[in-house]
Amino acid sequence: NAGVTQTPKFQVLKTGQSMTLQCAQDMNHNSMYWYRQDPGMGLRLIYYSASEGTTDKGEVPNGYNVSRLNKREFSLRLESAAPSQTSVYFCASRRDRLGSPLHFGNGTRLTVT
């Protein structure tokens, strides 16, 4: 039972490059989330998807796009990376909002130089 799997674990990009962070869950959860964690800022919500086919902006969506490819997969794309996007990115999922907690992946550490 893998839970929430994120790839890659580490990535270094140059300013202006693009990349996609992948996330998959095997728990048949409806909702999926992308967060970034920065020192002193806690976990900030980038985008979330309440169900397959829907996505919504979180607290810090600028510079990112997402795709809910199917119920299992939720990807995060940086079209033109900036140093301010250097962060640790966490994907999470939960069954639904009614009394169920988020389950997190182990994160992707992204450095943009």
Partner 1 sequence: DQQVKQNSPSLSVQEGRISILNCDYTNSMFDYFLWYKKYPAEGPTFLISISSIKDKNEDGRFTVFLNKSAKHLSLHIVPSQPGDSAVYFCAASPYNTDKLIFGTGTRLQVFP
53: left (phi over 0), alpha (psi -120 to 50) or beta: left
Concatenating the DSSP letter of every residue in 19-55 gives EEEEEEE-S--SEEEEEEEETTTEEEEEEEESSTT--
Work out whether 71 is an interface residue with partner 1 (CB under 8 A): no
**Listed ranges 13-21, 33-41, 61-69, 73-81: which one lies at the site for partner 1 (CB under 8 A):** 33-41
Q: Judged by CB under 8 A, which of 11, 17, 44, 75 binds partner 1? A: 44
Please name the amino acid found at residue 17: Q
Closer to partner 1 at the Cβ: 17 or 72?
Answer: 72
Work out whether 43 is an interface residue with partner 1 (CB under 8 A): yes
Work out whether 31 is an interface residue with partner 1 (CB under 8 A): yes
